Chain A
Amino acid sequence: MNGQVDPISYDVLIVGGGLAGIRAAIAAAEVNPRLRIGMVSKVYPMRSHTVSAEGGAAAALSKDDSYDTHAFDTVKGSDYLADQDVVDAFVREAPLEIVQMEHWGCPWSRNSDGTIAVRPFGGMTTWRTAFAADKSGFHMLHTVFQTSLKYPQIHRHDEAFVTKLLVEDSRCVGVTAIDLKTGRLDAITAKAVILATGGLGRIYAFTTNGNICTGDGMSLAYRAGVGLKDMEMVQFHPTGLPFTGILITEAVRGEGGYLYNNQGERFLKRYVPNKMELGPRDIISRAMTTEFEEGRGFEGPHGLFMHLDVRHLGEEVIDRKLPFMRELGREFVGIDIVKDPIPVRPVQHYMMGGIDADITGATPMKGLYAAGECANVGLNGANRLGSNSLPECLVFGAAAGRAAAEQVSSVAAVGSNPVDALLKDETQRVESSFLHKKGGDERIAEIREDMQHSMDTGAGVYRTREGLAELTKRLDGFRERFEKIKVDDSSRTFNTELMAALELDFMLDCAVTVAHSALAREESRGAHSRRDFPERDDKKFLKHTMAFHTEGDPRLEYTDVHLGKFEPKARSY
């Protein structure tokens, strides 16, 4: 499958074409217009999962807001696991990035004076979420993607699947990638590589995440020896549609929607009395789970649910601010949210954990950067506030793009000898382990589905030692079964089954780090809630978990949280 003569070579190579990846590419191009920039994505960039983000992007834009309150809300929301220097840099950059998006054409919703409008969001003490109706991610992604087309120095490799990082003398010097249309495995070299591959939601069965969210970049970095930080911190969004897991945006509650249990009660009064529907996601997801367990959920063909009710907002507000929600209700559930309550239940949504990276996106490996959901730069800690992830992609995508562009002048291009050898090894691995594998009888989809259901059961909203220990055993079993997979498809042309096998390989790595990191964190903090350790334990666990790849179970280490002016306090709303 290796048909290459010369390696394709760039100054900066970005893996992933979502909001963080494209923002990084443009930033690198603006640092130095002469740089050759490559962008590899397994889908056309406008298919990236940023497209599904709905509610908006937080930034201290309004006169009544301040950097400090945005920072405090973020740190409190993180249950004090966020790195406060990173949060501080983030809140200062976020407003500029929102304005930058406006200059590039993002159709932000507006105030009557023509300025960018903001809406309330969970865990935020003031209105600070800029939005483009309820398709904010869609508009932001298409805006940056279309803007990127004016930069001739950005060379795209659409529908190319990265299989491995090329590492030479402990420096990342590129990737190997399968060009899906031809099936050819290429080496693509670069002086700096930025991973911006998004989340891993597909390790769970019930998730808002698209089919492409398979943790590729996290696993690529992990296998190359980079630590994955705080992988136990998985966000469950309170309001997904039963069966499909389609996200119903938090903006529904921001605009004034109510959550009711089967007693017709706004049950959040027992959990977050001062915030009610605008409490943070971790607490509301736990509240709903508790209500279900105590028999106060509605029962439907696809499990228990609550009612999310916007009928009192009226058709005009709904059509102006939540038109996509009305469309989703009509098309996927057969309801009109103007007249009917929306059935919702907690659903895996976001990964706070990710590739260990610093404030500039630099990982501990030379030449390797990470940004967006696949990275953990320390912004979100144990629980991300809604609407902080889109600006995170912008702020840290741009930071990584600039940092990578600035370091390339001091780096020599990698020679073709080591790359040829690395490409040959990788070609051999993909051929013998997957494409021409003999004698396997395990179906990829069956292992994947078993893994997903095990993750839902063992590493969901509430966790226990028994459940997590059982999960780690099951994951070992799935890994053994994976060694015996059968690939039906031996075609070179657009082999989606080969891709599914490689993705499952990545997902199993990620799932193992989630389970082991969660088992070891014997406390409850943010989204990580242990029934056997219900309290936060700052003495032992005001620390980042770092998971490193070994031949056996991941090796766990702990590093200090960057504290700052916000002292850890009990977290109540």
Chain B
Amino acid sequence: MAAKRITIQATRFDPDKDDKPRLQSYDIPFTDESMVVLDALNYIKGHVDGSLSYRWSCRMGICGSCGMMVDGVPKLTCNAFLRDYWPKPITIQPLNNFPIIRDLIIDMDDFMEKLKSIKPWIIRKQELPLGGGEHRQFTPQIDEFRQFSQCINCMLCYAACPVYGLNDEFLGPAATALARRYNLDSRDEGLKQRLPMLADADGVWECSFVGECSVVCPKGVDPAKAIQQTKLDTTMRFVLPYGNRD
């Protein structure tokens, strides 16, 4: 029996040479049922064409580096198995809705700015001294924000978001989910400082509630829920008589 092979079509784009991205096809050995798309890319880079460019590190679904479009769907390539696509060719493209730096590498500086803008740190009026020990926090209080703290910043949700695709000023799913993570933390008192950013013209109200962000999240985060809950937060501050109290 001939050894099994698989065809990978990957986006190639070098801004120094190319006007626009193109697809290049590679036919490679599919030697092990455990192989994932990332293994295929590593085979190409190692043995066929060393110039193929992409990001990766942990290959266990936690560092968030290796998100790409796999047959048009945003995925972590470290856990997209070749066996689920074979014998058809697989098309690998950079994540949608982001500028491309090179090949499969997107520019995510925009997210890094958005992350900072929502003040993703504990804000308190009075900091507890270190010698005073830990804040008491109970499991049900952690359960309030737990899922939103699982975000690995992989950008799959932004690649799936039709609103972000049309308007890159939109704060977007992951940044809103992380703002929600802090707003819901019993140790935090920063809601008021975060609301202006969230209620801004490009904040949560831009979301048309398509919900694709939550579908593609590899970590079970539900950014769509974070956005809907935040809409409520921003409303309550205007409609309730004491809404602007601390």
Closest to A139 in B: B149
CB distance from B60 to the nearest CB of A (A): 5
Q: How large is the interface on A (under 10, 10 to 19, 20 to 34, 35 or more residues)?
A: 35 or more
Q: Is the CB of A443 within 8 A of B62?
A: no
Q: Is the CB of A489 within 8 A of B135?
A: no
Q: Is the CB of B149 within 8 A of A146?
A: no
CB distance from B193 to the nearest CB of A (A): 11
Q: Is the CB of A47 within 8 A of B187?
A: no
Question: Which residue among B32, B101, B107, B149 has the maximum number of chain A CB atoms within 10 Å of its CB?
Answer: B149
User: 1/0 per residue B48-59: CB within 8 Å of A?
Assistant: 011101111111
Q: Is the CB of B51 within 8 A of A491?
A: yes
- For window 136-166 of B, CB contacts with A under 8 Å fall at 136-139, 142, 145-146, 149-150, 152-153
Q: Is the CB of A114 within 8 A of B59?
A: no
Q: Which applies to chain B's interface (DSSP): helix, strand, loop or mixed?
A: loop
Closest to B116 in A: A149
CB distance from A489 to the nearest CB of B (A): 4
Given contacts A210-B57, A445-B45, contact A114 B136 (CB under 8 A): yes
CB of B15 within 8 A of chain A?
Answer: yes
Q: Is the CB of A494 within 8 A of B101?
A: yes
Residues of A within 8 A of B187 (CB): 103, 105
Q: Is the CB of A445 within 8 A of B64?
A: no
Q: Is the CB of A47 within 8 A of B115?
A: no
CB of B10 within 8 A of chain A?
Answer: no
Give Cα A570 to B46, complex, Å: 47
Give Cα A115 to B132, complex, Å: 12
CB distance from A182 to the nearest CB of B (A): 10
User: 1/0 per residue A408-447: CB within 8 Å of B?
Assistant: 0000000000000000000000000000000000011110
Give Cα A142 to B181, complex, Å: 12
Given contacts A105-B188, A445-B45, contact A493 B16 (CB under 8 A): yes
CB of A158 within 8 A of chain B?
Answer: yes
CB distance from A467 to the nearest CB of B (A): 26
CB of A313 within 8 A of chain B?
Answer: no
Given contacts A44-B112, A181-B101, A494-B53, contact A445 B47 (CB under 8 A): yes
CB of B7 within 8 A of chain A?
Answer: no
Given contacts A44-B112, A181-B101, contact A150 B146 (CB under 8 A): no
CB of B79 within 8 A of chain A?
Answer: yes
User: 1/0 per residue A331-355: CB within 8 Å of B?
Assistant: 1100000000000000000000000
Q: Is the CB of B58 within 8 A of A107?
A: no
Q: Is the CB of A244 within 8 A of B60?
A: yes
Give Cα A146 to B182, complex, Å: 11
CB of B185 within 8 A of chain A?
Answer: yes
Q: How large is the interface on B (under 10, 10 to 19, 20 to 34, 35 or more residues)?
A: 35 or more
Question: Which residue among B60, B128, B185 has the maximum number of chain A CB atoms within 10 Å of its CB?
Answer: B60
Q: Is the CB of A52 within 8 A of B62?
A: yes
Residues of A within 8 A of B105 (CB): 494
CB of B86 within 8 A of chain A?
Answer: no
- For window 475-534 of A, CB contacts with B under 8 Å fall at 486-489, 491-497, 500
Q: Is the CB of B57 within 8 A of A146?
A: no
- For window 106-159 of A, CB contacts with B under 8 Å fall at 107-110, 112-116, 135, 138-139, 142, 146-147, 149-150, 158
Q: Is the CB of B182 within 8 A of A496?
A: no
- Which of B45, B60, B116, B188 makes the CB contact (< 8 A) with A332? B60
User: 1/0 per residue B30-52: CB within 8 Å of A?
Assistant: 00101000000000011101110
Closest to A243 in B: B34
Q: Is the CB of A110 within 8 A of B142?
A: yes
Q: Is the CB of A496 within 8 A of B115?
A: no
CB of B246 within 8 A of chain A?
Answer: no
- Which of A44, A100, A446, A487 makes the CB contact (< 8 A) with B130? A100
Give Cα A49 to B112, complex, Å: 19
- Which of B49, B122, B146 makes the CB contact (< 8 A) with A105? B122
Residues of B within 8 A of A146 (CB): 115, 120-121, 178
Q: Is the CB of B130 within 8 A of A491?
A: no
Q: Is the CB of B57 within 8 A of A46?
A: no
Residues of B within 8 A of A493 (CB): 14-16, 101-102
User: 1/0 per residue A428-471: CB within 8 Å of B?
Assistant: 00000000000000011110110000000000000000000000
Give Cα A324 to B219, complex, Å: 10
CB of B211 within 8 A of chain A?
Answer: no
CB of A96 within 8 A of chain B?
Answer: yes
Given contacts A115-B136, A244-B59, A328-B60, contact A149 B121 (CB under 8 A): yes
Q: Is the CB of B60 within 8 A of A246?
A: yes
Residues of A within 8 A of B60 (CB): 52, 244, 246-247, 328, 332
Q: Is the CB of A116 within 8 A of B182?
A: no
Residues of B within 8 A of A102 (CB): 134-135
Q: Is the CB of B153 within 8 A of A46?
A: yes
Closest to A487 in B: B50
Q: Is the CB of B15 within 8 A of A158?
A: no
Q: Is the CB of A105 within 8 A of B57?
A: no
Chain A to chain B: the 4 pairs with minimum beta-carbon distance, closest first: A445-B46, A114-B136, A488-B50, A489-B51
